Structure 1
Amino acid sequence: MNIHAWNTHDAPKIDGILDDEVWSDPLNMTNLTASLNGHYLNNDEADKYIYEGYFTQNWPNNNQPSRQKTRLQVAYDDYAIYVSAQLYDTAPDSVRTNLGGRDSGSGAADSFIVSFDTYNKQQDCFEFEVTAAGVQSDRMRGMSGWDGNWNEVWQSAVQKNEEGWAVEMAIPYRALRMPNAKEMVWGVNFGRVIKRSNETAFWNNVDAEKQGYVNQFGSLRGLYDIKPPLRLTLSPYISNVAVSKQGSDKIANTFSGGADLKLGLGQSFTLDVSLVPDFSQVQADNEVLNLSAYEVQYGEFRDFFRQGTSIFNKWGQFYSRRIGQSHVAPSDDHLQDNEEFIFKPNDAPLINSIKLTGRTEKGLGVGILNSITNVSYAIIEDTLTNETRTVEADPLTNFNIISVDQNLPNNSSIGVINTNVRRGQGHKSSNVSSGHFNLYDRNNMFRFRGFGALSQEFNTEVGNNGEDERLTTLGHRFDLGHGKVSGNWHYWVSTNVESDTYNPNDLGYNSSNNAIQVRANTSWNQYKGKGIYQRYWVRVGYNEDHLYAPKAFMYRNLWGDADMLFNNFWSVRLNAAITPQMSYDYFGPREEGYRFAQYPSHDTGVTLNSDGSKRYSISMRASIWQRQHFNQLDDYYRYGQTYRVNDKWDLNHQIAWSQNRNEKGYVTTEKDESDNVEAVIYGDRNVKTLENNFWTQYTFNNKMFLKLRLRHYWRQVAYDEFFDLAKSGELLTSDFSDVNEDGEKEHDANYNTFNMEVSYSWEFLPGSFVTAMWRNELGSNSYNSHYNFTENVNEMWKEAQVNTLSVRLMYFLDYQQVKRGIKNM
């Protein structure tokens, strides 16, 4: 489908009332005698510029007409592109107008979406969404991924009317990237969400049976002589952070200022610079007591590392939390007699960060990110004299990542990534280089995917001659996959090989290496409703893992899952898996040459979700896992609920409970004076975990909200018996005891974290914010695994609470907007 944009010299007033001349008579048909920029209009027809009709559903009734009609128009001038839509509704009073925070998507409200593929490459797009309550969201999406953290400043307004509701949008060219050409043809699509019927429909049909999204767009024509503007914005800020700890009369107060700068380089690239970064208002991590051999991966809440980073987030090569994380925290080797650490830093101060991202007219995408963290120190105290000294924990460190990819025909792409971490003399540095490709056939029916990487670690050690020697450790990984990805029937097969020395973790995330993995699955996807259901899918799969070095079998399992959406918009998902033979865990023991024998097991689970468009909705999950040989039984239950009090206020609660009975897990390693392993100790333990989350938001209007978030995490670990792990994997009788002189079981745990956050945000001008956050944190960790809930809460509440109050003012300055304002004075 095609729609034409109309050049206007009188920009519409963005108020949601479609009475501007450009919308009522875009062609000025009664006086059409001339031409515009050499484009002759005498024979133009109004229906080229005005669309009125029924979109096509993508959800729930794929390829069926929308239940409601929509009218569209597009206009432009030398500053912005303008979109108007009348969203007809046969029941105007039923239009959902629930409020939410910026970038919350449609949420519980009706919404309108416009997407621009400005280079018309059918792979990536800029997407803008407005709800019937006027809440804005923006994102970049397509073959490069989904970047919902990408933010731009643009205008929109909505109005309810007798025929439904109307929306107007003004999207400045500053918010887009585009070629510099006399005539441009953009890919475009418009979407509409009707919440009471859970409908998502598009102007140009997006068929759920076909692979891809942007490749199913229509065309926007009639764009002439648009000059890409100078894209320059500055967001200076000032902030004040006050921190106090219960029991202390001191308040640590920090006043700071800085700025975020965005500069367009040519028509394709944007340079982001964060000068004196401020991360005082990021959400607290959902910390856990980790009993596994694998690192916990936490989410990223710092805006600079969330926005515009989709080009880096591929194949685990970039884990932004590495930047600012303490990498070289000092060991006990630094301690002398009668000394102990009284402070070890958890992070390294960030000095600055820069980021260059963009994509050219020919589909070449480039991303460069560089960050520098400062030296950090640990503090050591002599327990006899109380004298203190400092030792370096982290040196000055430079983090750098470069990602380049090229769009190819048929949604295909090829690219390379390089990550590099450089630390001071005597510390480890690293480099990881990788390449990847993603190929589709002409009909986007089949996909062939590949990835390969080489990791290098550079360490300095003292050689036999007493001089420093630089040692290099090489590792590699490759992954190949192929499958059918469109139609009702899908399949996928892949293999992944990681050497025992492959390590991208200085700037990436890889939970474990030293593995050869085979994966295969096939599924049937039914997109058309019949009887009691709207759609469903059923899938079965097979996994098998081997150790890379030395070559050894680890495990294989069979699994299946299925999901069905019913006509009342409730859904149910079932899953089951079986590991039919002896498996071997080479990572849990934490020591080379050891493995843990895992007897056959099986598990099953069910998830039930109610209609999320209703005022009250629920989500429930129950699962069970069993290994009969050890009489192991794990069960897990989760219950979530949402209640929308009114359009401005919603309440959300989720509680999860799990219990692992007779779990066999790693406890510790006993070593002799020469640091040789004497015994790897495993234990029979019972693990109970309770996680309680509550959050609520009151939205005053589409520019201001107040949010409360509470989280309590409680885990108890109680050991009944200990074993020596044989190298063959069997558990042997052990005389190990963890009872100390006070009669406490030192490996039992009663662990708690509690966080309360209250945040306020007011967008007083487009892109300019006043924000405030108060955070209360406390936690406890003891050996009292026998405590009940009341005893546990009493113990936790005796710990000192840490309170943080942060207030921040940020002002948005746009060069083009300032220039336009001066011109119109």
Structure 2
Amino acid sequence: MCKCLFKSILFILITTAVVAQNDSVKVQREYNTVQLPLEEEITIDGLLSEISWDNVAWQDDFTVFEPDNGKKASQRTKFKITYDAKFLYVGIRCYDSIPNKIEKRLARRDNFSGDWIEINIDSYNDKRTAFSFNVSAAGVKGDEFVSQNGDFWDASWNPIWYTASNIDEEGWTAEMKIPFSQLKFGAAKEQVWGLQIHRRYFRGEERSIWQPISLEAPGWVSEFGRLNGLKNIEPQKQLEIQPFLVNQFDKYPSEDGNPFRDGKDYILNAGLDAKIGLTNDLTLDLTVNPDFGQVDADPGAIALDGFQIFFEERRPFFIENKNIFDYEFADGNDNVFYSRRIGRSPQGFADVTQDEFVDQPTNSTILGAAKFSGKTKNGWSLGLLESVTGKMFADIEDVTGNKRLELVEPLTNYIVGRVQKDFNERNSYLGGIFTATNRNLPDHLDFLRSGAYTGGLDFKHNWKNRNYYVEGNIVGSHVMGSEEAIARTQNSITHLFQRVDAGHVSVDESRTSLTGTGGKLEVGKAGGGNWRYDGGVIWRSPELELNDIGFLRQADEIKQTASVSRLFIKPTNFYRRANMQLSQYSTYDFEGNYNRIQYQFEGFINYKNNWWTEVGAAHKPRIFSNTVLRGGPRWRWSDENFAYIFFGSDSRKKLSFTLGYVNSQAAESNFSLARYVFRLYYQPFDAFNLSISSEFEENPNKTQYVTETSFNGDARYITGNIDQKTFSTSIRFNYSINPNLSIQYYGEPFISRGTYTDFNFVNNPIAERLADRVSMYSENQITKSTVDDNYLIDEDFDGTTDYQIENPDFSYVQFRSNLVLRWEYVPGSEIFLVWSQGVVGAGNPSETLGGNLDQQILGQKKDNTFLLKATYRFIL
């Protein structure tokens, strides 16, 4: 641990001491707009024919962003901006030397394809966030909220605005009408906003921009030009109410005698979403009985390491303004706020007899949620979210018709508060976060924690035109509950206080609370020149616990990181751009055990013809794990090397593909991985596209953990040689009748099968040689039971079974599909018609993947859901 901290602090001190060369002065372009005369108006038809456009001047002189950064654009672009009391108007002409080759592909909203133009508006003028409005030559609308200086683009933001485009003999034109109520800005006599106009010239795969930005720049929003002349516009307080109505019919295979599986169900549901502008800067979002019925199903996944699987948030209420609530305090997916916890699957299960049937709810009902969020002109980012999930009951009925309910999830209240303040001319910020989870627990659910609280502080400072940065955060957590709940927390795979060889942690079954800390400190170079580098340290103390409302995979770790990258941003006759990176990290636990070190190389090249290749390789000479034996001693893996290569064709073409291969090999064939990836995209005509993504993976492991048992009073940790194969394919197609009416299909079969042989028990878990780590059972020690499927172990050869191992073979099968017709009949109001199919179950481990695909998916009767959802967005 001491060496890790010393190396990290030394790296930070050296990096901070670097004196950067003087950067060239950036010329910030300006556009000066004027207000429309009161009697004039603009019709949004894409033609730019109104005389009202004559009140403002054209501006052009676009330069190339990619690939020939800084050169004059090959196709001319010009634009105008004007406004009235409620709307901002943008008119754009995109000249094209061959108008009949303009790519006008139809797609759903937010799917940018073909030729397009976008305007980015930093109305906060904070140089970190912006609102983006995009329209394609086919009239397809797109909008995104930009944060983290261009590192994050949130396409779930769906404001109400108006746009149209038109193709003519000179190229194509577009008009936009953006309500001020959809933008956020403070009161001022004259507004000064950041501005960028960005065009994609599809045929030449050229990106041109109005305000020149070097590829060496440290970000996107911080480099914008300025929009001047917005005088005496009044901030518009947003008030929108969107009720919805859902009719749902479920049809599924019936089960004889089961009253909860009679073959069909009908559900009528209604709810309300609202958006209230308390000020033009700050918005209150409300939802009552929200419905997420049209959201895509999560992809299939299975984890044999015991850790929870992270799934992306897909629900619109929680995605919007996600950047304000985000608090990634370490690395990976670790986050103080993980919104998937709200509405999670019930954590309790009904206690039933053999003669009872149970209907277990799959998710907790969100009774209501409110979210207050926004950013003020003074640089305050504010967020407050509160949500209540209701009591969830399992319905139970026995064979005689007697019914009862059993509580499986208590009434729970979630609160998240977030604040950040910009200062130092927006080059620095300081922020904080607070979360609270409180449960109303009955006695039979007191294995859950009754309360969980976290708090944190974060900061970032940029200097030398944002080319250099230092950032960090600290997090503290406190969880409370019964002795059983806190003992379960100590024994969970996130903590594993019961580890037999750990001298710094142990299970205390009398405790009723845990308190821990975590955090990060990093310094680096993010822009300027062709080189980038960073280094830092991350820690998670043994008692840190975030999983009531956050996401934490593993505690008890200190990690040192360092990386250096070289960018090749000047195109040549061979490539458009390329980069490569060397990185290294090492980890320790809080007892000082040196657990891992890894060295990695990654490279990417985009060729002149727009094909591309991505490669990577890593060497892991030291791999120790505190979690493999699930509370047993520290385990050593054999040294590992892995590599990958992906390459793909030009994504602009009607037909494009990606092929990928990942290979990992451990010394002594301890374990290996071979993953094959194939992706295909096909758009035979402008209104239709099809994509297929397939993966096949083989992952054998000679020492896959199976179970723990006891032999003569000593713990026995059993592992085995697993032959695991996994296959998945996702299929999507989209047919767009027009930009507001489309049909989309998504389907994904997922199959994972694992069979075990060569069972063994752990002998010396940290031995260098695999043969010294485990001892194999001989044929005389292990036999298969004739009564059940268990393995019987006679370890001491006395003819008596000493212990048994349940057969760990498995085959997991899942299929999910959605067919969705979506019609945005007026801006912001939609009708969804959905047909969903699904099946989840266990296949036959002795069957091949193809056999399980045929029997468990293709040959199985599936659950069907038919759903009609209608919304109407009232703008008051």
Q: What TM-score does the superposition give when structure 2 sets the normalisation length?
A: 0.85
Which of 373, 388, 406 is 1:391 aligned to?
A: 406
Preserved CA contact (<8 Å) 1:740 1:746: no
- Deviates most, 70-79 or 529-538: 529-538
What pairs up with 1:663-682 in 2 under 5 angstroms?
A: 663-670=702-709, 678-682=715-719
Q: Quick one: distance in 1 between partners of 2:841 and 2:512? A: 42
Secondary structure of 2:855's counterpart equals helix
Q: Which residue of 2 aligns with 1:765?
A: 826
Secondary structure of 1:793's counterpart equals helix
Q: Does 1:570 align with 2:606?
A: no
Which of 34, 39, 42 is 1:6 aligned to?
A: 34
Q: Which residue of 1 aligns with 2:435?
A: 419
Which ranges in structure 2 are unaligned for 5 or more consecutive residues? 1-28, 255-260, 329-334, 486-508, 767-772, 791-805
- Deviates most, 412-421 or 798-807: 798-807
Q: Counterpart amino acid of 1:406?
A: K
Q: Which residue of 2 aligns with 1:30?
A: none
Q: Which residue of 2 aligns with 1:751?
A: 812
Q: Counterpart amino acid of 1:620?
A: L
Q: Quick one: distance in 2 between partners of 1:171 and 1:625? A: 51
Q: What TM-score does the superposition give when structure 1 sets the normalisation length?
A: 0.90
Q: Counterpart amino acid of 2:659?
A: M
Which ranges in structure 1 are unaligned for 5 or more consecutive residues? 28-48, 816-825
Which of 723, 744, 749 is 1:707 aligned to?
A: 744
Q: Quick one: distance in 2 between partners of 1:411 and 1:98? A: 40
Q: Does 1:253 align with 2:253?
A: no
Q: Give 1:174 shift.
A: 1.0
Q: Which of the pair is proportionally richer in strand?
A: 1
Q: Which residue of 1 aligns with 2:452?
A: 430
Q: Give 1:379 shift.
A: 5.4
What pairs up with 1:221-370 in 2 under 5 angstroms?
A: 221-247=228-254, 250-315=263-328, 316-326=335-345, 328-330=347-349, 342-370=358-386
Secondary structure of 2:222's counterpart equals helix
Q: Provide Cα deviations, 1:544-573, integer angstroms capped at 9, x if missing partner.
A: 11122x331211111101111110011111
Q: Which residue of 1 aligns with 2:4?
A: none
Q: Counterpart amino acid of 1:458?
A: M
User: Cα gap change, 1:181/1:542 in structure 2, threshold over 3 Å: closer, same or farther?
Assistant: same
Preserved CA contact (<8 Å) 1:738 1:746: no
Q: Which residue of 1 aligns with 2:472?
A: 450
Q: Counterpart amino acid of 1:769?
A: E
Preserved CA contact (<8 Å) 1:739 1:746: no
What pairs up with 1:126-165 in 2 under 5 angstroms?
A: 126-143=131-148, 145-165=152-172
User: Cα gap change, 1:792/1:110 in structure 2, threshold over 3 Å: closer, same or farther?
Assistant: closer
Preserved CA contact (<8 Å) 2:346 2:361: no
Q: Does 1:687 align with 2:724?
A: yes
Q: Does 1:121 align with 2:126?
A: yes
Preserved CA contact (<8 Å) 1:215 1:411: no
Which of 51, 70, 78 is 2:59 aligned to?
A: 51
Secondary structure of 2:864's counterpart equals strand
Q: Provide Cα deviations, 1:128-170, integer angstroms capped at 9, x if missing partner.
A: 1111111111111132743221110100010001110000000
Q: Provide Cα deviations, 1:747-796, integer angstroms capped at 9, x if missing partner.
A: 11122111121001011111111111110001221442343513541244
Q: Give 1:389 shift.
A: 4.7
Q: Quick one: distance in 2 between partners of 1:340 and 1:630? A: 48
Which of 193, 196, 211 is 1:204 aligned to?
A: 211
Q: Quick one: distance in 2 between partners of 1:420 and 1:242? A: 37
Q: Quick one: distance in 1 between partners of 2:530 and 2:323? A: 29
Q: Counterpart amino acid of 1:566?
A: Y
What pairs up with 1:626-645 in 2 under 5 angstroms?
A: 626-630=665-669, 632-645=671-684
Which of 377, 401, 407 is 2:416 aligned to?
A: 401
Secondary structure of 2:158's counterpart equals coil
Q: Give 1:418 shift.
A: 1.0
Which of 68, 76, 80 is 2:87 aligned to?
A: 80
Q: Counterpart amino acid of 1:810?
A: T
Secondary structure of 2:59's counterpart equals strand
Q: Quick one: distance in 2 between partners of 1:557 and 1:801? A: 45
Secondary structure of 2:854's counterpart equals helix
Q: Give 1:191 shift.
A: 0.7
Preserved CA contact (<8 Å) 2:813 2:856: no
Preserved CA contact (<8 Å) 1:143 1:411: no
CA root-mean-square deviation: 2.4
Q: Does 1:19 align with 2:80?
A: no
Q: Does 1:612 align with 2:651?
A: yes
Q: Which residue of 2 aligns with 1:509?
A: 551
Q: Quick one: distance in 2 between partners of 1:508 and 1:622? A: 33
Q: Quick one: distance in 1 between partners of 2:686 and 2:755? A: 46
Preserved CA contact (<8 Å) 1:377 1:394: yes
Q: Does 1:101 align with 2:140?
A: no
User: Cα gap change, 1:381/1:599 in structure 2, threshold over 3 Å: closer, same or farther?
Assistant: farther
User: Cα gap change, 1:499/1:677 in structure 2, threshold over 3 Å: closer, same or farther?
Assistant: farther
Q: Does 1:439 align with 2:461?
A: yes
User: Cα gap change, 1:367/1:268 in structure 2, threshold over 3 Å: closer, same or farther?
Assistant: same
Secondary structure of 1:794's counterpart equals helix
Q: Quick one: distance in 1 between partners of 2:821 and 2:169? A: 35
Q: Counterpart amino acid of 1:765?
A: V
Preserved CA contact (<8 Å) 2:89 2:176: yes
Q: Does 1:801 align with 2:862?
A: yes
Q: Quick one: distance in 2 between partners of 1:623 and 1:119? A: 44
Q: Give 1:228 shift.
A: 1.1
User: Cα gap change, 1:181/1:731 in structure 2, threshold over 3 Å: closer, same or farther?
Assistant: same
Secondary structure of 1:321's counterpart equals helix
Q: Give 1:340 shift.
A: 8.1
Q: Which residue of 2 aligns with 1:373?
A: 389
Q: Counterpart amino acid of 1:88?
A: Y
Q: Provide Cα deviations, 1:191-247, integer angstroms capped at 9, x if missing partner.
A: 101112222121001222110111111111111110112311111111101111123
Q: Counterpart amino acid of 1:213?
A: W
Q: Counterpart amino acid of 1:551?
A: G
User: Cα gap change, 1:705/1:197 in structure 2, threshold over 3 Å: closer, same or farther?
Assistant: same
Preserved CA contact (<8 Å) 1:410 1:443: no
User: Cα gap change, 1:733/1:268 in structure 2, threshold over 3 Å: closer, same or farther?
Assistant: same
Aligned residues: 777
Q: Counterpart amino acid of 2:652?
A: S
Q: Counterpart amino acid of 1:691?
A: S
Preserved CA contact (<8 Å) 1:718 1:749: yes
Q: Quick one: distance in 2 between partners of 1:117 and 1:764? A: 30
Q: Does 1:496 align with 2:538?
A: yes
User: Cα gap change, 1:512/1:770 in structure 2, threshold over 3 Å: closer, same or farther?
Assistant: same
Q: Give 1:742 shift.
A: 4.4
Q: Which residue of 1 aligns with 2:769?
A: none
Q: Quick one: distance in 2 between partners of 1:262 and 1:238? A: 18
Preserved CA contact (<8 Å) 2:119 2:133: yes
Q: Counterpart amino acid of 2:366?
A: L
Q: Give 1:621 shift.
A: 0.5
